Structure 1
């Protein structure tokens, strides 16, 4: 390797990561020197107490957690229905229960990372967007306008008199998403839509979502991995994995009321070198995502980069921008630090 002289380790041992609970145990016992599991605050505090030389960096993972509705089927095919349901969901509470260290995403659904909102979206633009704040009374009024009504038991009936009852899916191995799934089911049930969380094994979950075999699911949202660029996020939402899973159509109306070819929009976004043109394209895409309520994000994930100085030293300061390399694949940051010669066995 052309940087072999910079690497101060003879081997790297990678332990199985079957679920987050296993990795918490590794960290607690000092069996791994570096890991990035989503971890509740009490468990984080316990790890830091057991391993006094452990540090925690919290860079953005360049992605949000979100709620996906299967737009191929009723009632989710009606964007006004999706907008009504958005007001029935307490996104801040979802974040608090799911991921203590994440950033709140509780106003919009525009598919731009909240941490980069100021970079790409003007205040004037944001002021014109629909805000999906938590407002159950507004949700109720909107549903009634669409012909829905409550039955004798207080639960919602569709315009044909059929009860609304949903299953919410999530990957079973994502402990934080399971918490979100349970909380979302509880919130919707309290609102009058009896819902049940059903986790699915990871290897089955993703193909099943892509096949459109679900009603509501916990999914990635505003995924800007790799490039920290809006092209990445809107490609995934309109054309990539997320778009395929929730059933995004090929065209949607834009801010001026005309149909926008989403593939053409994303292609221009990824090919232009004109920054002003790029910002206009991003605002058009953000408007489409928000005003059609394609997906409802509820937090921006912060990577929990645990690193233990007891065994390895040379880690960057927890606020060093080098940690931003970890978004979407934390191991790449480790590789860069190793080949640059930053990391060494403790005491060497």
Structure 2
């Protein structure tokens, strides 16, 4: 007979995110830009991306319950079912699954250009494996607007997908890939007008491109810095760190002006080397600007330099939990919830322990 362990939602979500589960899901991803090799689950009805770890203390049983050392955590866990659109292909024979993936229960996600000018070893972000899935044959290098419109329509019609995330590898152009994103957004919105879309890109050198993305039909935008500590940026993101933080701040301010308060977000990855107070202060600066700081723990990802070369472990669970709670407290004071974003990572929330998008 199993016993029931005391439950704390944030504590358990942090530990699950970092330690994963012994139990695989039919919907999973590997390689790509991150944040991990994971499976998609619903935990008490909320989306959660959990790494598969055969050494995890968390065991998922056939009844959809998670236990530790025989103690039931009081969590109902349901693997996300394989979507029907995965069974389809384009007329040219490209599987829909290679064009866009289901994330969580109702989020369609795609990397519109699966290559990055910063992917050489001297410039590559050490937590990123954006070209790994391409090398494995799991995706195609460039998704056309027509491809994405076709897949989005099917995913919306067959599987109830309600939002879409479009990210991109960085290009050599001054727009850093944003113009192709805009063309893709416009095509998808024409095919599925009520599908909410978030775009993700580096700060474009021409800030007017942010307006182009909005006018194409994107409802929210992610401009991801990952860390606001320049020393950490140079160590973890040698190429991307060449874009000054002031360019990020200018892009965030312009994005808030165009998309609106709490429709702009950025990743802050926990476990890259900053002090706790520095991370919380950075999150506070972002909140004051109207930018949602989507705090997620670093998780080892196969194919990355951090995992395969540096052998960097996941951060301490207690530290991640403490930082998450402190950032959540600031978000609550500001009245800022990821769930209020029209689309995107913060709206989904599966990769973070921020409860309901803001409260821990």
Q: TM-score range by the shorter chain?
A: under 0.3
Of structures 1 and 2, the one with the larger relative CO (CA 8 A, separation 6+) is 1
Larger Rg: 1
- The structure whose residues are more often helix, as a share, is 1
- TM score, norm. by length of structure 1: 0.26
